[in-house]
Amino acid sequence: GQRGLVGRDDELAALHAALDACAGRRPVVVELHGRSGTGKSALTDRFLDEASRRADTIVLRGRCYERESVPYKAFDSLIDALSGYLRGMTEAELAELLPEHVGDLVRLFPVLARVGALDGGRKKGAAGKEQRDQQDLRRRAFRALKCLLGTLAGRVTLVLAIEDVQWGDRDSGQMLREILSPPGAPWMLLLLNYRTEAAADSPFLAEYRGEGRGDDQGTGEHGELDTRTVVLGALGPAHARELAAALLSLPVEDPRVAKIA
């Protein structure tokens, strides 16, 4: 809501600028981070709400949970959201969208079997699985998701958001690197938010960034990406008073506001 966004106009504008850049048909990644309690969720909520109101824009949102132990945990709830979106499409629309090896993707994320056209996907992907090692299956599944997102992003402005990625696992980081690597990285905006203090110990972020990743503009592995960083620091004194006043439903000049701010 509005009150959680006091003093964050510049950061919100930076996110919209990233979305504008993505609409120029290129992949854009924004890492939004700040210490716990700096308002990452409020800013993410507001931005995604505003983005979803744009014409021809699809927003898919997921989150990592610290104590959850599922494969590809950074993608788990995001794939749930993707599944929900695909279930709203006609069979004809899906037929144009679905890539080769989609059965392997359904095996990795069984929730996709809820999509009518993908219902038999696990069986199709399972054919010959004895001859196919797990690594090969993963590679095919990663490629299928990359193609699916790429086709979707060619038709609409696609925004993917994954929150609390500091809790993500290494396999998710590997999957994301594959999706964003050239050639054929989807023309989408990817918003990753995380707690600054937990980033150094995150297997997901370590794997996603890879060895030898260069400066903030994304050299090396992510060379063709437009990579941006938005850092949420503590609010200044004036904005802190404004936020406290909003939370207390009091005028800024009220002495009780100064005690909290």
* Domain spans, the chain: 2-260
SS3 174: helix
Q: Is 244 left (phi over 0), alpha (psi -120 to 50) or beta?
A: alpha
Residue 100 corresponds to which tokens in the numbers above?
């080769």
**What is the pTM (predicted TM-score) of this model?**
0.81
Three-state secondary structure of 185-200: CCCEEEEEEEEHHHHH
pLDDT of residue 214: 46
pLDDT for 220: 39
Cα 111 off chain centre by: 18
Question: Which of 3.40.50.300, 3.90.190.10, 1.10.1040.10, 3.40.50.10860 is the CATH number of 2-260?
Answer: 3.40.50.300
Residues of the chain with pLDDT under 70: 1-7, 119-132, 211-224, 235-261
Please tell me the predicted confidence (pLDDT) of residue 28: 96
The whole-number pLDDT of residue 118 equals: 80
- Structure confidence at residue 242 (pLDDT): 53
Phi/psi at 183 (5° precision): -85, 165
Distance CA(191)–CA(183), nearest Å, equals: 20
- Report CA torsion sign: 96, 101, 102, 105: negative
pLDDT for the residue numbered 247: 56
